[in-house]
Amino acid sequence: MRPVVFAANWKMNHGPTAAHGFMRTFLEQYDRHMDRTVLFFPPALAFAAAREPAVERPDIGFGVQNIHWADHGAFTGELAAPMARDAGADYVLVGHSERRHIFGETDQQCADKCAAAERAGLTPLLCVGETLDQRERGETESVVTRQLKAGLSALTQCDITTSIIAYEPVWAIGTGRNATPDDAAQIHAVLRNALADLISDRAANVSILYGGSVTPTNVRDLLAAPNIDGVLVGGASLDPTKWLSICTA
């Protein structure tokens, strides 16, 4: 059984004070669930404040939103994977649609960042997804397969097995539009097959999440669809009440 994963990407929201308050409110209401894992990706400056209330909760994990591919060096403003690990991170987002389409992150950089994460003992959560134009041209499967295989290309088969994948159609990020459960399940199956090309039957052990305008209203239907092992949530994860409703689905 693959664990159900609920991942909150706070993006550039919640500073240290707000992050600490959010976590205290959420943890007071969220009982430990052994059948699921809840992950938080706060902004770097709020990471310590968010993590502190949850240090005694092994069911809650924390990650950073981005790393550099180098372990150290003259890269002003960047975070190295060993630094993130030292701060208590266990996970890192790689290739989020905003990193790709706003900041120009390439497939090769995603591969380098996944490799850096694994070197430091972080689990990469690799994001893949197509734009609206690519979807309308019928390129969805080729785009996500290319992004997946390129992003994982520098990892060993063992490292791939312990990674997490997220399918997040770019046209559904923060737009209020989301893929139907059937649409999402179809692409998740494509990704599962692409993983099988890389790691054979061990592909069954890799969690594949859906991201894109997930809400308390649609999360149950998404989780009920085949091959959807959890969700990567942006806007709805910023409110502790909404996030609690999603995590207890």
pLDDT tens-digit series, residues 88-136: 999 999 999 999 999 999 999 999 999 999 999 999 999 999 998 999 9
Give dist(CA 234, CA 8) in Å, integer.
Answer: 6
For the chain, the straight-line distance linking the first and the last C-alpha, in angstroms and rounded, comes to 18
The predicted structure's pLDDT at residue 173: 73
> Is the model more confident about 132 or about 175?
132
143, 169, 191 from 203: Cα distances, Å: 19, 21, 9
- 174: pLDDT strictly greater than 80: no
The pLDDT > 70 percentage for the chain reads 98
| pLDDT bucket at 157, cuts 50 / 70 / 90 | very high
Span 197-245, pLDDT tens digits:
999 999 999 999 999 889 999 999 999 999 999 999 999 999 999 999 9
| pLDDT bucket at 186, cuts 50 / 70 / 90 | very high
The count of C-alpha atoms lying within 13 angstroms of the C-alpha of 135, restricted to the half-sphere facing its C-beta, is 13
Return the axis-axis angle of helices 140-151 and 107-120, rounded to nearest 10°.
40
- 3: pLDDT strictly greater than 80: yes
Q: Which domains are delineated in the chain?
A: 4-247 (3.20.20.70)
| pLDDT bucket at 34, cuts 50 / 70 / 90 | confident
- Report the chain's mean pLDDT, rounded to a whole number: 96
Give dist(CA 119, CA 30) in Å, integer.
Answer: 33
Beta bridge partners, 68, equal: 80
Residues taking part in catalysis: 96, 168
pTM equals: 0.96
The predicted structure's pLDDT at residue 38: 98
